[in-house]
Amino acid sequence: MEWNEENFLKTYKGTEKFVTDEGREYYLLFLDLLKDEELLSHIKFVNDVLGEPPLKTFILYERDYLKKPVFDKKMTPVQKRGIGACFGYLYKFIYGGYESEQSWFNDEKTGIKTASFFIKSNLQR
């Protein structure tokens, strides 16, 4: 799996602060996720079969299963949009053939209200 940071930044305008500064902690955590093929396959399964947003699965895994405190605090708008954009880029441009749909998440700890799940586009079904 090939993550292209330059293309990500071009595709999702306004994510520079997320990648380099304000959201760096979350960005690095996401890049670590990309190295874990087994976890990615589970997250993809939950998205594809159960329709749960990958971001939700990732947060719950990191916070509730691994007990990491990174998602125990309110996230800034830059951080929330940035981590969501990472999953959007993953599904739309790396996996390919997916379209996003909004889903209610309402995570009080992070302040994230909605997150996208991804469905195969009509051309890919």
pTM listed for this prediction:
0.94
Tell me how crowded residue 44 is: count the other CB atoms within 10 A of its CB: 16
- 3-state class (DSSP) for residue 1: coil
Average pLDDT along the chain: 95
Query: How confident is the model over 28-61, as pLDDT tens digits?
Result: 999 999 999 999 999 999 999 999 999 999 999 9
Residue 103 above 80 pLDDT?
yes
Q: Which helix (H) or strand (E) holds 17?
A: helix 16-20
What are the φ and ψ backbone dihedral angles of 82, each rounded to 5 degrees?
-65, -45
Are the C-beta atoms of residues 34 and 3 closer than 8 Å to each other? yes
